[in-house]
Structure 1
Amino acid sequence: MATIENRSRFVVSVKNKDEYYREFPFTNRDAADEYCAWLETEKGYKAKLKQKEDSFFVRIRQTGYPLFQKTFKSLEDADTAIARIEAERKSGVFIDYTKAHNVTFEHLLKRYIEEEGPKHKGWEKSQKYKFKGWLADLEGQTTKGVKEKDGSDKPRQAVMRVPSSEIQWMRKPFTAIETEDIEGYIDERLEVVEPATVDREIDCLRAVFTVATKVWKYRLVENPMEAVRRPKYFNERDRRLKQDEHQRLLDSAFEEDKKRSVDLRVEELMALDREAAQHLPTKYKKKLLVKAALEQCRKVAEQNYIHIPLFETFVNFQIMTAARRGEALQLNWADVDFEKRSAYIAETKNGQPRSLPLRGDLVEQLKELPQCEGGVFPITAAHLRKAWDRILERAKITDLRIHDLRHEGISQVAETAKFSLIDLQKFSGHRDVRMLLRYAHLCTTHMAHKLDEAFSSEISVTVHRGRKRLKLAEVARISQAEASSSNVIPLFGKDAA
């Protein structure tokens, strides 16, 4: 059963008296009647009351179908919609778009944060902050730089990123969002961040659209994300270690290990002194004792510390295994098998576990590390980042990232000309072999040797105009054999009959 209700506003007007013009909500007819009565009794004017025709609410109830409710701008549009829906339901092709019309993208964003986001790998690390940042920008709760007040008692949150102002379309009905809305946001972001960052943000938006339309069944006539044009960029790095950079890197890592080993030894020696300082009556005496003990313990530690080659081993581990930084930091001793010379990585970037082959010299380096419970490299990503900066500064190396060591490792393996792209895929852990095409040129020599092996046993002949011809190398070989043979009678020359 379909019903149409006029929900347009009521209008009260007086001829030639625009100052008495008033509008009332469709739910407040009594107030409009009272105003008309007041104009007639108090002012002596004859008021005219009428209802506009720009808002018609349609409700369709039918057994076996969800409740349909939508507002149209004209009675003709409402009648057309009812006729179309009834015909589509009768033929079994009806698609309900009202569900998407009654929800905003902001609402879908909040639902995604609660239900879908936590299911994804990397959500807690980065994606969650991007989604919550959009919501904060919509509410005007963020500002670039120091904290400020926006007129209320609560200061706005200061953030390192630049807040976006081109996201008000997120408050539009889901069906009303257009491609131009999203591209306006993209153009604004390209002015303040790198194209690669914008590309990842587009992936986040696309994920919400995909889940909303395919999982939550918010139907759209046309998905605006399908026509969004991504920014073009090329950020593929090809940084290789040059000349003696590898040795300089190891030497600098050795110095960093020495500093860390001394600090660990100092903390061991300082344990009793710190405990004694806790019993002193004043902070001044505590600090004085700790300072004196620290100087003394450091002198002793520099003489009898045990060198732990943590960062030196880490550098070689990254190159020799081509592991990602996160894979190396999450590696536990329980997952390292020295007999099988392998290291098992349970969680990788692409979601598939893999085993890293360990070269013999790398196994010997790993055995020099303390094999306690927990991680092989017991440091955090933040600690590693700071140590890496110090290592590069000490080695006087610029523009080298930890991930570049992985690229170096894969390149070195490819340059040996003993491994195919499939072997490289197993070594690098790439899910798609196309990611390794950048190393294909390094495997050319290996392919040439394989071709020689494949065709070396075949007869070296060519075909020209239907006749087989020996290649020049074969001709020379046969000629040489004939010349050395005394039983061969020459067919051409002075002695030919």
Structure 2
Amino acid sequence: MASFRLRNNRWQARVQRNGQKDLAKSFLNKPDAEKWARSIEIEIDRGSYINTSYAQKTLFKDLIQQYLKEVTPTLRGAPEDTYRLRKMMRNPIAELNLTELTPNRIANYRDERLKEIKPNTVIRELAYISSMINHARREWGLGIINPVAQIRKPSQPKGRERVLNDAEMSRMLHELEKINPFLKPLCEFALETAMRRGELMSLLWMNINFEKSVAFLPLTKNGDSRYVPLSTKAIKTLKLLPRDIEGRVFPLNKGTVSIFFLRAARRAKVDDVHFHDLRHMALTKLSVKFTNILELASISGHKELKMLQRYVHIKAEDLVIKMG
């Protein structure tokens, strides 16, 4: 039930209910205090009351900091997540308390960020915000509705369709070989296996089975392990490589690989190409051999076939040959 008392020339209303923390708020006059108390009691009785006290006294940047301390270190992408979340803390939105983090505010944040960065990156940032709020709702007693769930997300940009022709690929490999002896075999192996850059960088000799012609990936991007079949050319590429003392097949840094790849592209006069395009090219080629989409997904590691379709680019003229 509610109780009221005059304190320091203000009327304090206090609502007490079993199973709920006592709720108190002060008003200039008693009718307003009674009105507030009745509305709280009705919400509690209906089961629709949400306690926003934690949200009112917590800034968004404080929530991010707590998430960085307790949650981010347990995630696989911790270094990248930490960098992005610390950058978000410098945005004006981080100075709002959590009750001010309304759908309208999030929508404005989305629109401002779209002026600065690509839609994919904005979608990722919104996902970060949504994950933090959902975690706080589950674990820390945050009493607000997730505002990200109530706004329109930016449209997914069309998947890249860049496929290098033979002449471009030949020039690229020639330049890559001059930069670092591991770069050319890395790219040749990527074109044969459709493995992701991170998977290639973490590949160990101990997980290569030459007898069965498979490579074992203990932990992939989606959190699962995977066996990747190796073609004759992939096996040949591996056997020509020197063994690194650390046991890595390709002892290179992920960031360095991207930088070297772009440098080789400039020297080879190949425009609009990224290392990840090799995965597109490999899956497109493999899709001709493996017409069963589930077989192709087992090679690529895709859980969602819709995502796999974005990577595979089949030419109509190739289908004509199959139609007869």
Interval of TM-score (by shorter of Structure 1 and Structure 2): 0.7 to 0.9
Whichever residue aligns with residue 255 of structure 2, its letter is A
Counterpart of 1:120 (choices 51, 75, 83) is 75
1:205 alignment partner in structure 2: 129
- Do structure 1's residue 238 and structure 2's residue 196 form an aligned pair? no
Counterpart of 2:204 (choices 318, 327, 332) is 332
Q: C-alpha distance in 2, partners of 1:239/1:194?
A: 18
Residue by residue over 1:348-368, the C-alpha shift from the partner in whole angstroms, topping out at 9 and shown as x without a partner, is 111111111111122122111
- Do structure 1's residue 193 and structure 2's residue 65 form an aligned pair? no
1:39 alignment partner in structure 2: none
Counterpart of 1:399 (choices 272, 276, 281) is 272
Residue by residue over 1:168-208, the C-alpha shift from the partner in whole angstroms, topping out at 9 and shown as x without a partner, is 6x433x33432221122222222222222222111111112
- Do structure 1's residue 181 and structure 2's residue 136 form an aligned pair? no
1:384 alignment partner in structure 2: 257
Q: Shift of residue 408 of structure 1?
A: 0.4
Whichever residue aligns with residue 251 of structure 1, its letter is H
Contact kept, 8 Å, 2:262 with 2:274, in 1: the verdict is no
Q: C-alpha distance in 1, partners of 2:271/2:265?
A: 7
Q: Shift of residue 381 of structure 1?
A: 1.9
Residue by residue over 1:258-316, the C-alpha shift from the partner in whole angstroms, topping out at 9 and shown as x without a partner, is xxxxxxxxxxxxxxxxxxxxxxxxxxxxxxxxxxxxxxxxxxxxxxxxxxx52221011
Q: C-alpha distance in 2, partners of 1:105/1:443?
A: 54
Matches within 5 A, 1:339-378: 339-372=211-244, 373-378=246-251
1:80 alignment partner in structure 2: 35
Whichever residue aligns with residue 4 of structure 2, its letter is I
Structure 2 length-normalised TM: 0.86
Contact kept, 8 Å, 2:262 with 2:273, in 1: the verdict is no
Q: Shift of residue 443 of structure 1?
A: 9.3
1:224 alignment partner in structure 2: 147
Q: 1:365 to 1:98 in 2, by over 3 A?
A: closer
Structure 1 length-normalised TM: 0.58
2:170 alignment partner in structure 1: 247
SS in 2 for 1:81: helix
Q: 1:104 to 1:394 in 2, by over 3 A?
A: same
Q: 1:392 to 1:444 in 2, by over 3 A?
A: closer
5+ long unaligned stretches in structure 1: 8-25, 27-50, 138-163, 258-308, 453-497
Q: Shift of residue 250 of structure 1?
A: 2.4
Contact kept, 8 Å, 1:100 with 1:175, in 2: the verdict is no
1:68 alignment partner in structure 2: 23
The alignment-based identity, stated in percent, is 29
Q: 1:313 to 1:423 in 2, by over 3 A?
A: same
The CA RMSD over aligned residues, in Å, is 3.0
Q: 1:253 to 1:5 in 2, by over 3 A?
A: same
SS in 2 for 1:244: helix
Q: 1:445 to 1:110 in 2, by over 3 A?
A: same
Q: C-alpha distance in 1, partners of 2:148/2:5?
A: 35
2:4 alignment partner in structure 1: 4
Q: Shift of residue 318 of structure 1?
A: 0.7
SS in 1 for 2:4: strand
Q: C-alpha distance in 2, partners of 1:177/1:92?
A: 25
2:282 alignment partner in structure 1: 409
Q: C-alpha distance in 1, partners of 2:298/2:28?
A: 61
Which has the higher Rg, Structure 1 or Structure 2?
Answer: 1
Contact kept, 8 Å, 1:70 with 1:98, in 2: the verdict is no
Q: C-alpha distance in 2, partners of 1:325/1:362?
A: 16
Contact kept, 8 Å, 1:419 with 1:443, in 2: the verdict is no
Whichever residue aligns with residue 209 of structure 1, its letter is I
Q: 1:69 to 1:108 in 2, by over 3 A?
A: farther
Aligned residues: 321
Q: Shift of residue 446 of structure 1?
A: 7.3
SS in 2 for 1:355: strand
Q: C-alpha distance in 2, partners of 1:121/1:253?
A: 30
> Which of the pair has the greater relative contact order for Cα pairs under 8 Å at 6+ separation?
2
Q: C-alpha distance in 2, partners of 1:127/1:409?
A: 29
Counterpart of 1:59 (choices 14, 27, 51) is 14
Q: C-alpha distance in 1, partners of 2:256/2:161?
A: 26
Contact kept, 8 Å, 1:345 with 1:355, in 2: the verdict is yes
Residue by residue over 1:75-110, the C-alpha shift from the partner in whole angstroms, topping out at 9 and shown as x without a partner, is 334213333444565x57363424345433423233
Q: 1:340 to 1:444 in 2, by over 3 A?
A: farther
Q: C-alpha distance in 1, partners of 2:21/2:75?
A: 31
- Do structure 1's residue 317 and structure 2's residue 317 form an aligned pair? no
Q: C-alpha distance in 1, partners of 2:43/2:150?
A: 28
Q: C-alpha distance in 1, partners of 2:124/2:176?
A: 34
SS in 2 for 1:237: coil
